[in-house]
């Protein structure tokens, strides 16, 4: 007698079956699938929750804090961590925790908004240029080259002097620079894709150029785009701190992670916690974003294994 083969629950599952019945009727979106796959990548999931935590910490935290980021207490400057001030106080006696949260708000805000702006402009610009090709492509990419050639710092100083200095302008300026690289990356990807047979098949089915670009080509470049976007967020945060350092970024009482780290590095001998704490939050966020991007790339590829 041949003994019956024991099949464990996980082995007996066919790849196609592990969608729940509701999805079978409707078919789920790319993002729902991606989330489904992301959940299986522990590191990426942890990173995801760290990013979520940072978001909540920075955007909700300040409302719960008894201090405001501008409240000075000159009697208690440069204090070590205590129950009243968990991360101590800075050189003007302001609560470091509150400033850390507000600073994160600025840094993450610049990072995410500028990245999203650069993403949207860059993806659409690059995809259109590559898909249309020929002279249009040439003209569009030469425009990018010209912008690339502009010295960034001068560009920022120029804009900052012409217009009122504001955080909004900071977002715009950084976004306006970051999309160039994105456009180049996407263009390269799309150039390879547009000659693929499935694009021809889509044309032969009577799809419009717009629909082919948006529904067939862009999903194919999302993996690369997401990875690049998660690398852009830290780059933008660094850029912001560089601008703040030059006095071109956020205005003085408003902190950002960059300016907090700057303050910490000035006092590294006597008060190392002023450097360590913001650096830790900053690095943790960057790590989490990188791992999340990596996980997202895998999750967005339907070919990556489902288990």
Partner 1 sequence: MPFLEIKDLTTHFHTRNGVVRAVDGVSFFLRRGETLGIVGESGSGKSVTCYSMLGLIPTPPGKIVAGSALLDGTTDLLRASRKELRKIRGKRIAMIFQDPMTSLNPYLRVSTQLIEPLQIHEGCSKKEALKRAVSALEEVGITEAARRIHAYPHEFSGGMRQRVMIAMALITAPELLIADEPTTALDVTVQAQILDLIRERQAARNSALILVTHDLGVVAGMCDRIAVMYAGKIVETGTAEDVFESPLHPYTVALQRSIPSLGIKGKPLYTIPGVPPDLSRPIPGDAFALRKGLRNGGKWLHTPPPLRQVSETHWVRECDVELPALEEVKDV
Residues in touch with partner 1 (CB under 8 A): 15-17, 19, 23-24, 27-28, 30, 134, 195-198, 200-208, 211, 215-216, 219-220, 222, 300-303
In contact, 94 and 70? CB cutoff 8 Å: yes
157-184: b or e for each residue (b if 16 or more CB lie within 10 Å)? eebbeeeeeebeebbbbbbbbbbbbbbb
Minimum distance, C-beta of residue 216 to partner 1, in the bound complex (Å): 5
In contact, 220 and 159? CB cutoff 8 Å: no
Minimum distance, C-beta of residue 126 to partner 1, in the bound complex (Å): 17
Minimum distance, C-beta of residue 297 to partner 1, in the bound complex (Å): 12
Nearest one of 208, 173, 182 to 129, comparing CA atoms: 182
Nearer to partner 1, 132 or 147 (CB): 132
Minimum distance, C-beta of residue 13 to partner 1, in the bound complex (Å): 13
Nearer to partner 1, 159 or 224 (CB): 224
Angle at 157 between CA 156 and CA 161, to 5 degrees: 115
Taking the C-alpha atoms of residue 256 and residue 10, their distance in angstroms, rounded to an integer, is: 48
Nearer to partner 1, 225 or 233 (CB): 225
Q: Pull the structure tokens for residue 211.
A: 């629909």
Nearer to partner 1, 202 or 250 (CB): 202
In contact, 77 and 195? CB cutoff 8 Å: no
Taking the C-alpha atoms of residue 185 and residue 222, their distance in angstroms, rounded to an integer, is: 11
Nearer to partner 1, 215 or 253 (CB): 215
Minimum distance, C-beta of residue 44 to partner 1, in the bound complex (Å): 19
Is 126 exposed, middle or buried, given 0-12, 13-18 or 19+ CB atoms closer than 10 A? buried
Minimum distance, C-beta of residue 183 to partner 1, in the bound complex (Å): 21
If you ran DSSP here, which 8-state letter would residue 213 be given?
Answer: I
Nearer to partner 1, 222 or 292 (CB): 222
């Amino acid at each position: 007698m041949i003994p019956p083969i024991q099949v464990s629950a996980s082995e007996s599952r066919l790849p196609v079956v592990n969608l729940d019945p509701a999805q079978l009727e409707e078919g789920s979106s790319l993002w729902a699938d991606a989330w489904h796959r992301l959940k299986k990548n522990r590191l990426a999931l942890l990173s995801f929750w760290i990013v979520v935590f940072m978001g909540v910490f920075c955007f909700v935290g300040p409302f719960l804090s008894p201090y405001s980021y501008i409240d000075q207490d000159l009697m208690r400057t440069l204090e070590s961590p205590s129950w009243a001030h968990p991360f101590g106080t800075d050189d003007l006696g302001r609560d470091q925790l509150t400033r850390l949260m507000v600073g994160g708000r600025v840094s993450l805000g610049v990072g995410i908004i500028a990245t999203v702006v650069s993403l949207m402009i860059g993806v659409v610009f690059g995809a259109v240029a590559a898909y249309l090709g020929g002279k249009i492509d040439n003209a569009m990419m030469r425009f990018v080259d010209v912008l690339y050639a502009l010295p960034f710092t001068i560009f920022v100083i120029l804009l900052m002097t012409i217009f009122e200095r504001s955080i909004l302008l900071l977002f715009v300026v950084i976004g306006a620079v970051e999309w160039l690289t994105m456009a180049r990356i996407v263009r390269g990807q799309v150039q390879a894709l547009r000659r693929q047979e499935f694009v021809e098949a889509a044309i032969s089915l009577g799809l419009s150029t717009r629909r082919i670009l948006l529904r067939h080509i862009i999903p194919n470049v999302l993996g690369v785009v997401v990875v690049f976007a998660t690398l852009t967020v830290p780059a933008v945060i660094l850029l912001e701190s560089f601008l703040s350092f030059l006095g071109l970024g956020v205005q003085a009482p408003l902190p950002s992670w960059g300016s907090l780290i700057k303050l910490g590095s000035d006092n590294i001998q006597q008060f190392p916690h002023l450097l360590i704490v913001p650096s830790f939050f900053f690095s943790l966020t960057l790590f989490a974003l990188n791992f999340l991007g990596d996980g997202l790339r895998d999750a967005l590829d339907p070919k990556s294994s489902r288990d």
